[in-house]
Amino acid sequence: PASTNVPGNDYPRLDENHCAYFRIHAPQAQKLQVDCGGRKYDMQKGEDGFWTVKTDPLVVGFHYYFLIVDGLSVTDPASYTFFGCCRMASGIEVPEGKEGDYYRTQNVPHGQVRSCVYWAESQKKFRRCMVYTPAEYEYKTDKRYPVLIATRHGRRRNRMVYTGKDVQHHGQP
């Protein structure tokens, strides 16, 4: 299964040549396609009501995709959703080889991203923020840490944009 799959789903998946395999149960559908990176692939319907397709090899990296069911573009319920292409989309990550080990989760202490609520006196209301704390933060109380404040999220995004795409590293949002 792809690293971006919702737990318990075997598809989509990738082979050693970076081809993606999609399998969708939609027995009532007349036509089903996968739009992966702007290329549409027609899916074939089996007698069991499952639609399947194999893509051409995908380049290494993250790819947004959509299902097109009888002309309606929707996200894949088997995939986590991501904000891309100016809307919510499904995603599949084609991993790097050994050269990508630097970015993969390693067996080392990890920090946490915490969702915190605070009172903003200037606005007279509660606000929410995301705070990253290093792994040793709880027990190295005398150590000082730098602070990064990110206030702009871009078009149609919110505070979750900084952590939401971590699913490809940790398997959950």
The two structure tokens encoding residue 165: 């795409």
Domain boundaries, the chain: 13-103, 112-164
Could you tell me which residues come within 8 angstroms of residue 78 by beta carbon, excluding any fewer than 6 positions away?
5, 6, 9, 11, 12, 24
Percent of the residues in the chain that have a pLDDT greater than 90, as a whole number: 61
Convert the pLDDT of each residue in 8-66 to its tens digit: 999 999 999 999 999 999 999 999 999 998 899 999 999 999 999 999 999 999 999 99
The pLDDT value given to residue 168: 38
> Is pLDDT at 94 greater than 70 in this prediction?
yes
Compute the distance between CA of residue 116 and CA of residue 139 in angstroms, rounded to an integer. 20
158 falls in which pLDDT band (50, 70, 90)? low
Q: What is the pTM of this model?
A: 0.67
- The secondary element (H helix, E strand) that includes residue 20 is strand 19-25
The pLDDT value given to residue 163: 58
Looking at CATH, the fold of the domain delimited by 13-103 is given as: Immunoglobulin-like (2.60.40)
Q: Phi, psi at residue 75, to the nearest 5°? A: -80, 160
